[in-house]
């Protein structure tokens, strides 16, 4: 089973609203060489307690490097983007895998192992969304299997046919992806 070890990149890259921590800023509870000062203690937000990265879970991530070595964190929580057809204005929601990229390594998303992972996700109709800092600083990555010219495409968040959006709530995600807005959680 994989373990975080010295990796604490998620504590820097991901937003944690209950702690008023923005994406891309180091968490004030993160201690160098020691990890989180709140881990499994009172005051630890549930978002942190239940969160894991894709590398740690190792769900189809065997060939990916640990996040602190690859300079990106793959979020288990999916999201979606809204693409708009320039001709008729039709909007379509596309599920994305969120990749939180270290702004100090902006090209880390071009890692061949990550591209292979995204290529496998495209078989499910899922594309990549590389996030930097704020949720609006993003690049949508379309794998060749989903592109008419069989090439990789990187669409900046300011592309005319990509609607700029913040990270979505679970309810937003379920509604956009056609799932019922209610879900039951059983122990």
The DSSP secondary structure of 109-167, one letter per residue, reads GG-HHHHHHHHHHHTTT-EEEEE-SSTTSEEEEE-GGGSTTSS-EEEETT-TTB---PP
**Residue 7 lies inside a defined structural domain of this protein:** no
Position 39 scores a pLDDT of: 77
In this predicted structure, the answer to whether residue 57 has a pLDDT above a threshold of 50 is yes
Give mean pLDDT, residues 79-93: 80
Q: Is residue 97 part of a domain?
A: yes
pLDDT in tens, 3-34: 888 888 988 998 888 888 888 888 888 877 67
183: confidence class by pLDDT, cuts 50, 70, 90: very low
Element (H, E) at 48: helix 46-50
* Count of domains observed in the chain: 1
Which residues on adjacent β-strands are paired with residue 139?
A: 130, 156
Judge if pTM exceeds 0.85.
Answer: no
Query: Does residue 186 form part of some domain?
Result: no
Q: Is residue 96 part of a domain?
A: yes
* Residue 26 in domain: no
What is the average pLDDT score of the chain? Answer: 82
Residue at 160 is within a domain = yes
Exposed, middle or buried, 168 (CB in 10 Å: 0-12/13-18/19+)? buried
Backbone angles phi, psi at 139, to 5 degrees: -125, 125
Question: Residue 44: what pLDDT?
Answer: 80
136, part of any domain? yes
DSSP run (H or E) holding 15: none
pLDDT band of residue 182 (cuts 50, 70, 90) is very low
Least confident of 17-21, 109-113, 168-172: 168-172
pLDDT beyond 60 at 181: no
User: Is residue 134 situated within a structural domain?
Assistant: yes
Structural domain harbouring 113:
54-176
């Amino acid at each position: 089973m994989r373990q975080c070890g010295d990796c604490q990149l998620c504590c820097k890259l991901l937003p944690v609203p209950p702690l008023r921590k923005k994406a891309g800023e180091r968490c004030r509870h993160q201690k160098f060489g020691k990890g989180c000062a709140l881990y499994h203690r009172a005051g630890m937000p549930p978002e942190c307690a239940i969160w894991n990265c894709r590398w740690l879970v190792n769900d189809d991530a065997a060939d990916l490097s640990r996040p602190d070595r690859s300079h990106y964190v793959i979020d288990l929580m999916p999201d979606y983007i809204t693409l708009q057809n320039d001709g008729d204005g039709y909007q379509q929601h596309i599920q994305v895998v969120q990749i939180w990229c270290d702004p100090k390594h902006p090209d880390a998303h071009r890692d061949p192992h990550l591209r292979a992972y995204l290529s496998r996700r495209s078989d499910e109709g899922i594309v990549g969304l590389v996030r930097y800092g704020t949720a609006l600083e993003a690049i949508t990555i379309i794998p060749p299997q989903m592109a008419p010219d069989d090439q990789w495409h990187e669409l900046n968040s300011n592309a005319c046919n990509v609607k700029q959006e913040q990270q979505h709530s679970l309810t937003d995600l379920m509604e956009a992806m056609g799932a019922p807005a209610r879900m039951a959680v059983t122990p």
